[in-house]
């Protein structure tokens, strides 16, 4: 299902926001899905969506605690990648609140 598209709303729950460690966790997950195109964007700024394969791109979002983001994916493996990333947000990247 290479044309598969998925979109989820996620909220940054950890106190430090989307800093280097959570961004690295996301990029590490995406390393398992090289054919998937997965992005994170602010709901009002899809033009500047961050490529989830890139730690730097994710950090440029400057998403602090409480920021709502749209997690979008398409391509081979995107649904599983998005599910795994969404689970990281749900668990606050194991950093607590």
Q: Other CB atoms closer than 10 Å to residue 5's CB: what's the count?
A: 13
pLDDT at 96: 62
- Return averaged pLDDT per consecutive 10 residues of the chain, 97 residues in all: 80 93 96 97 93 96 96 96 96 79
Q: Which of 19, 21, 42, 83 is catalytic?
A: 19
Residue 19 falls in the annotated catalytic set: yes
Q: What is the pTM of this model?
A: 0.90
pLDDT at 54: 97
């Amino acid at each position: 299902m290479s044309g598969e598209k998925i979109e989820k709303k996620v909220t940054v729950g950890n106190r430090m926001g989307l800093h280097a460690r959570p961004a690295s966790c996301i990029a590490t997950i995406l390393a398992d899905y090289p054919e998937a195109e997965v992005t994170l964007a602010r709901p009002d700024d899809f033009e500047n969506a961050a490529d989830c394969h890139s730690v730097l791109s994710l950090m440029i979002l400057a998403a602090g605690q409480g920021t709502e983001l749209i997690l979008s994916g398409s391509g081979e493996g995107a649904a599983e990648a998005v599910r795994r990333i969404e689970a990281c947000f749900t668990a606050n990247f194991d950093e607590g609140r």
